[in-house]
């Protein structure tokens, strides 16, 4: 089955990493793929655009089926190949509801509060141009959000939605991995720190770890590190 799959992806992209973890967890580690260069704008190349008119990655094919958007890819893999690899969305009603909640919670909150509203903004703003009041407000907002996730993990003592690795973890871990890469200090979030250290050695995550992160340290150290 994996030989019929193809993924266009970019190293260090949270959405791409999410899809790649799901592929590994479902047992499709032999899928064909192409690493594209963001610096060279290769996601706007003809091979991607013919499958994804938005010119974005991840872009995924499974035979003649085309699936774009990372969440759609993850959910496609789980629903189409339920009997393969790790069961990422539980069958029990209550547990499934919690996993679905955490999945959507991660996208709705961490995408905006961590990536869009905090890290990306400060990556593009010179330190001398930052408004101290704005920095303080956004730092506190993000700290509150991270404390919420730390509490979730503290209650389960294992994974986001209980004792088993699920799609909630597939969605959540790349955000934390990216945060650590750019300077997130987890010392103030002990349950999250333990979770990060433990999952960093999980086979699916090790296999899909952004290759350029292995070759060079993160160069951006945002104020998030001062939490």
10-residue block means of pLDDT along the chain (227 residues)? 95 96 97 96 96 98 97 98 97 97 93 72 74 82 92 95 97 94 89 97 97 74 50
Q: What is the pLDDT of residue 136?
A: 82
User: In Å, how far from its chain's centre is CA 199?
Assistant: 13
Is the link from the previous residue into 2 a cis peptide, with omega within 30 of 0? no
Q: What is the pLDDT of residue 73?
A: 98
Q: Domains in the chain, please, with CATH? A: 2-81 (3.40.30.10), 93-213 (1.20.1050.10)
Note the residue count of the chain: 227
Indicate if the alpha-carbon torsion angle 191, 207, 174, 92 is positive or negative. Answer: negative
What is the rounded distance in angstroms from the CA atom of residue 136 to the CA atom of residue 62?
46
Q: 4 forms bridges with which residues in the sheet?
A: none
Q: Cβ(12)–Cβ(28) under 8 Å?
A: no
- Distances in Å between the Cα of 128 and the Cα atoms of 124, 219, 227 are 12, 18, 20
pLDDT, one tens digit per residue, over 17-55 is 999 999 999 999 999 999 999 999 999 999 999 999 999
Q: What is the pLDDT of residue 140?
A: 87
Query: Within 10 Å of residue 41's Cβ, how many Cβ atoms?
Result: 10
Q: What is the pLDDT of residue 135?
A: 79
Q: What is the pLDDT of residue 217?
A: 65
Token pair 């869009």 in the structure block, residue: 116
Q: What is the pLDDT of residue 225?
A: 44
């Amino acid at each position: 089955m994996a030989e019929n799959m193809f993924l266009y992806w970019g190293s260090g992209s949270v959405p791409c990493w999410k899809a790649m973890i799901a592929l590994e967890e479902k047992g499709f580690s032999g899928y064909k793929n192409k690493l594209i260069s963001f610096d060279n704008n290769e996601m706007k190349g003809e091979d991607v655009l013919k499958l994804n008119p938005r010119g974005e990655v991840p872009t995924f094919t499974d035979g003649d089926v085309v699936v774009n958007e990372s969440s759609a890819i993850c959910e496609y893999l789980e629903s189409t190949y339920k009997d393969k690899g790790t069961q990422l969305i539980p069958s029990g009603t209550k547990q499934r509801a919690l996993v679905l909640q955490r999945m959507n919670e991660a996208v709705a909150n961490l995408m905006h509060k961590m990536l869009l509203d905090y890290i990306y903004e400060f990556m593009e703003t010179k330190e001398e141009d930052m408004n101290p009041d704005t920095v303080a407000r956004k730092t506190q907002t993000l700290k509150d959000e991270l404390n919420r996730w730390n509490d979730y993990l503290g209650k389960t003592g294992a994974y986001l939605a209980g004792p088993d690795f699920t799609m909630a973890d597939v969605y959540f871990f790349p955000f934390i991995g990216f945060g650590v890469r750019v300077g997130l200090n987890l010392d103030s979030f002990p349950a999250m720190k333990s979770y990060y250290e433990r999952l960093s050695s999980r086979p699916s995550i090790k296999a899909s770890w952004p290759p350029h992160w292995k070759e060079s340290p993160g160069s951006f150290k945002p104020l998030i590190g001062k939490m």
